[in-house]
Amino acid sequence: MRHSQDTWRLIAQGALLGVLAGLAFALVEVLTSVARGHAPEVPLRMAASVVLGREALDPLAPAVVRGVGILVHLGLSVVFGALYGAILPTLTGEVREGVTSQALVGLGFGVFLWLVNFQLIARTEYPWLLGTPQVTQAAIHAACFGLPIAMGFAAHERRLRRRGDA
């Protein structure tokens, strides 16, 4: 299947928006961790545990674990953002430009990521990730990752249309 220039633009833009949304997501994860009485680096250690194993959760683990957590989190944010961008060509122009329709797609995308990452993959490969409240995780994925990406795309698509580039 040959991708159009528009598709590659959307994938690249999705990767960038993924980083931005990933930063917002990480901030909310840290705040949630602190609100639950945990150390602020717990979300970073959890991300690192995907590649380093359960040992990354040890509070005495070396500082490099937090760096690995940042790399894992941002790497996944890029991939998931690019995936969102790859999905956009399947949507109509009205959906791509519409704030409400993009918001719904973005929220659904965030919930989809939570379902796949936590309810499918973590259940078999990383069960320790299920120790966080899953309703909270679903909400954070939807509102703090999927929604920001969607709003970024909606704004950009409307700007392109006004300029006559879309």
Give me the amino acid identity at 50.
Answer: V
- Which pLDDT tens digit goes with each residue over 136-151? 999 999 999 999 999 9
Average pLDDT over every residue of 60-69: 93
Q: What is the pTM of this model?
A: 0.91
Give the DSSP letter string of 7-49: HHHHHHHHHHHHHHHHHHHHHHHHHHHHHTT--TTHHHHHHHH
Packing angle of the helix pair 5-35, 64-87 (nearest 10 deg): 140
Residue 4 pLDDT greater than 70, yes or no:
yes
In 3D space, the residue among 70, 10, 11 whose CA is nearest the CA of residue 46 turns out to be 70
Predicted local confidence at residue 3, as pLDDT: 59
- Residue 165's pLDDT band, with cuts at 50, 70 and 90, is low
